[in-house]
Amino acid sequence: MLVIACPGQGSQKPGFLAPWLEVPGFADRLHWLSVVSGLDLEAHGTTSDAETIRDTAVAQPLLVASGLLSLLALFPRPDDAFSLVGMAAGHSVGEITAAAAAGVVSAEQAMVLVRERGRGMAAASATAPTGMSAVVGGDPDDVAATLARHGLVAANANGAGQVVAAGTTEQLAALRADGPARARVIPLSVAGAFHTEHMAPAVPELERLARAITTHDPRVLLASNADGTLLHDGAQVLRRIVAQVARPVRWDLCQQTFADRGVTGLLEVPPAGTLTGLAKRSLPGVETFALTSPDQLDDARAFVARHGEPSTVEGAPPWRLVVAPAKGVVHVQGPREEGAAVEPGAVVARVEGLRDGHDATAPHGGCVLEWLVEDGDPVAPGQPLVRLHPVGGAA
């Protein structure tokens, strides 16, 4: 199974888009997204310096645009991707890239949303001096206790022994002076304490914008940064993307979902390298591909062909299925009789895993056509549980 991974802020480097402008259609599409975002993304991706593209209001639209356009270069016919990609995920702002690539929102909606996300987070960062530091190594319990002692938040839990602490500059200075045993504390070049309550002022405007967006259910399953849950309801994807601005990123749980689902290949879109690096340390046996240059496109297509398999939502509209949100044992809670009505949002089953339990809900409701599992069965994340007919009886 193949997963497409979309990187987050901090992965961009000066000039990383320059070679991509030679790909037919890329420059014109980048110009279009520049007009939509109100930014000169061509300049920012080719000639702007590191300090310019470090600006949150610039970096975030640049990352989403580069991911979407490189995927169009990889899959000139997007429908081909939906028959090969098993799931997708994005780290932080990369969730917007993944959602747009999966068809939840249009490219234009994604660019407006990420433009306002970047502006809102930049404004929130300017209200107080905050930042982030990577904590690499150390005992996990000691790391957590040390962050708590200094009043810091584990804003990114990335797996592979890496946690990103976020808070005020004073709190981060205290962490550097009194860090966890056997751990390195590395200050990061970011503008603020992302994915913490410091970003809460950016959320209300994004919530308002989200209410104006008509979503579609994703064509492939999406792993959520909140807890690694696999999502197949477009409205829920968008709600989580908005809320995630002020909540920690659990990339470690996304990677656990990849492992539980049996992913064999992970392809990271430009500017690639960060997420494939984490996967190499956290997902032994999973082949990775960091797409950094158009010269790699033929090799990338061969990688996709080697690991691709039809999506579990291909051939059956997602609104007809309720799928397992996580790995565990399923306990049926909804009606089992053929033709029984299920209300929108109703919990039809609960999946109990080793860490915790997750409810499986029917976002759109309907009538039971057939249960695809038995009570007490072990299930994998994204595995179909019950098929529903959206309206009327079970005919």
Catalytic position from the list 91, 195, 232, 358: 195
Q: How far apart are CA 347 and CA 360, in angstroms?
A: 6
Burial of 350 (0-12, 13-18, 19+ CB in 10 A): middle
Catalytic position from the list 66, 92, 125, 282: 92
Q: Which of 73, 86, 95, 88 is nearest to 23 (CA)?
A: 73
Is there a contact between 321 and 386 (Cβ–Cβ < 8 Å)?
Answer: yes
Asked if 232 is an active-site residue, the reply is: no
Burial of 57 (0-12, 13-18, 19+ CB in 10 A): buried
Is there a contact between 63 and 11 (Cβ–Cβ < 8 Å)?
Answer: yes
Asked if 331 is an active-site residue, the reply is: no
SS (H, E, C) 259-316: HHHCCCEEEECCCCCHHHHHHHHHCCCCEEEECCCHHHHHHHHHHHHHHCCCCCCCCC
SS3 for 50? helix
- The beta strands (E) that lie in the chain are given as 2-6, 87-90, 130-137, 153-159, 162-168, 183-187, 221-223, 230-231, 265-268, 287-290, 321-323, 328-332, 341-342, 346-352, 357-362, 366-371, 378-379, 384-389
Side chain identity, residue 272: A
Which residues on adjacent β-strands are paired with residue 351? Answer: 330, 358
SS3 for 14? coil
Which residues are part of the catalytic machinery?
Answer: 92, 195
